[in-house]
Structure 1
Amino acid sequence: MAPKVANFMWRALSNALPSLWSLFRRKIVKTPIYAICGDQPETIEHCLLHCPWTLAVWCSVVMKNGSPNPSLFTGNIKRGLLNWEEARVSVLQSSQLISRAPTLWTPPPVDVVKINFDGAWKESNLNSGVGVIIRSHMGLSIAGASLFRSHNSTVEAEAEALLYGFRMAVVLKLEKIIIEGDCQEVIKALSDSSFSPSRRISPILKKVAHLVPFFRSIHWNWVPREANRLANAAAKLAIQSLCSQEWANRPPNSLISVLRNDGLPAPP
């Protein structure tokens, strides 16, 4: 609904429009009679519902020559506005809850390892970066990668980052993992069987699906970018340096500050 239409409806239902009847009661005009029909006072209800000229419009355009019921119509409008207001309040409350949600990386349970992945992409030259971070319940780095690649979109880089994270986990013989990223399409494609991803990433996701049986348990978790800082920084590092690198317990020096910003221990 357009804002100006919603505003008009709200003012009409609140009796806040300057009808002749309202102006007459305030002694601003000499007569309250509606000029179009010349029969009844110009109240808001008469102008919008009861006037013969208005009824003709409702019958021919909206009600398809049916019999209009002004009271029922008014009630429907009021209910519609109330529903709209409830939905608006609900959206505002949801956005406030999201804004209050933790934006730092959170460690997994003791017997679980968390794999964060992210992709970065430059449309100008199709250069992309793949970032993978594997951390323990103490927040310590187990392994990671910052890989320089070339893709046609960001989501392809995201999908390859996920695939590389799975391959690293297989090599490390991890059993219980949490997969965490900020790309909703990739996370939803693998966690929701009813969701169909775009064709550009389907071949990559099929390779991921073939690796799933290697693990005892997998939990999929979408997080905002703020809670995926280290993987994002690793992906961007690959684009900036135009090279690839992997590490075990110590990430590159440029990423250690990100670890500290997450409130986690970093190598000395």
Structure 2
Amino acid sequence: MEVADLNGHGAKEPTLQVVDTIQRWLRPPQATFKLNVDATWGKKTLIAGLGAVIRDEHGNFIRGAGKVRLPSSPIEAEAHAALYGLMVASDLGNVHLECESDSKELIQSVKGNIQKGRWTIYPTLAALKEKCRIFGSCSWKWIPRKANKATDAAAVEAKRKMCDEVSVGPEFFKAQGKSKN
């Protein structure tokens, strides 16, 4: 898994751990919240659903939300989902936040030099980096798509409903059969 600390509070060099066998959601470390983000994008319509799900160290659902955007590409949708997720988490205060996405390109852009990424997502990445500063720590890592099912469901629901913002609770995920992912 790739991890990058963006909040600038004693950030260490990003570490790389290879764990390709994990296909399910895993709890964050003690005293840490986990934010999962995802986007779904329609090539013909350019409509994207953004999803964010936050859980605590015990795997308890804290909150989930989704909204619709009109980005011009899948990577722009993923970057907007990441920023949206941080906004959803922003009122948690000075907490430790472990953020996950199933977009390798997004995570590589976040953990690398953002100026070398796609120019179309540079403003969103800059805003994401700034937003990370409000948390005690804010790290980002890539996870397999199968480990991000609940957040994908939130993004799909937001796109389907076509409304500005959708709040999703644990009952939504239980109805979807995705409460553990």
Indicate the TM-score class for this superposition, using the shorter chain for normalisation. Answer: 0.7 to 0.9
Unaligned runs of 5+ in 1: 1-96, 263-268
Q: 1:211 aligns with which of 131, 144, 153?
A: 131
In 1, Cα distance between equivalents of 2:103 and 2:138: 17
How many percent of aligned residue pairs carry the same amino acid?
30
Partner of 1:157: 77
Partners of 2:175 and 2:50 in 1: CA distance: 14
Relative to structure 1, is the Cα distance of residues 179 and 122 closer, same or farther in structure 2, using a 3 angstrom cutoff?
same
Which TM-score applies when normalising by structure 1?
0.56
3-state SS of paired residue (1:108): coil
Other-structure match for 2:64: 144
Contact kept, 8 Å, 1:128 with 1:157, in 2: the verdict is yes
Residue-by-residue CA offset, 1:142-179 (whole Å, 9 max, x unaligned): 11111122221111111111001111222221510101
TM-score under structure 2 length normalisation: 0.81
1:188 aligns with 2:112: no
1:103 aligns with 2:38: no
SS in 1 for 2:53: strand
- 1:173-197 deviations in Å (ceiling 9; x for gaps): 1510101001112112222237721
Distance 1:186 1:251 in 2: 29
Query: Does the Cα contact within 8 Å between 2:97 and 2:139 map onto a contact in 1?
Result: yes
For residue 250 of structure 1, report the CA deviation from its aligned partner: 3.1
Q: Check whether the contact 1:141–1:251 (CA below 8 A) recurs between aligned residues.
A: no
Q: Show the counterpart of 2:166.
A: 245
Separation (CA, whole Å) in 2 of partners of 1:239 and 1:255? 18
Looking at structure 2, the residues matched to 145 and 114 of structure 1 have their Cα atoms a distance apart, in angstroms, of 14
For residue 116 of structure 2, give the secondary structure of its aligned residue in structure 1: coil
Equivalent-residue separation in structure 2 for 1:257 and 1:242 (angstroms): 22
Amino acid at match of 2:47: N
CA contact (8 A) 2:56 2:62 kept: yes
Residue 253 of structure 1: how far off its partner (Å): 5.4
* Aligned pair partner of 2:46 in 123, 126, 149: 126
1:179 corresponding residue in structure 2: 99
Larger gyration radius, structure 1 or structure 2: 1
Conserved? CA contact 1:118–1:232, under 8 Å: yes
Provide the secondary structure at the position in 2 that maps to 1:133: strand
Instruction: State yes or no: 1:228 paired with 2:145.
Output: no
| Offset from partner CA, 1:126-155 (integer Å, 9 cap, x none) | 111000011111211111111122221111
Pair 186,258 (structure 1): closer, same or farther in 2 beyond 3 Å: same
User: Do the aligned partners of 1:234 and 1:255 also contact (CA within 8 Å) in 2?
Assistant: no
Q: Which has the higher helix share?
A: 1
SS at 1:258's partner residue? coil
Q: Distance in 2 between matches of 1:108 and 1:212?
A: 17
Q: Structure 1 pair 106/242, CA: closer, same or farther in 2 (3 Å)?
A: same
Deviation at 1:199, TM superposition (A): 1.0
2:120 aligned counterpart, secondary structure: coil
Cα distance, 1:256–1:111 mapped onto 2, change above 3 Å = farther
1:222 Cα shift? Answer: 0.3
User: Which has the larger strand fraction?
Assistant: 2
Deviation at 1:256, TM superposition (A): 4.6
Q: How many residues align?
A: 162
Instruction: Describe the SS at the equivalent of 1:139.
Output: coil
User: For residue 234 of structure 1, what is the amino acid of its counterpart?
Assistant: A
Indicate the residue corresponding to 1:10 in structure 2.
Answer: none
With over 3 angstroms needed to count, the CA separation of the structure-2 counterparts of 1:255 and 1:139, relative to structure 1, is farther
| 2:87 paired with 1:167 | yes
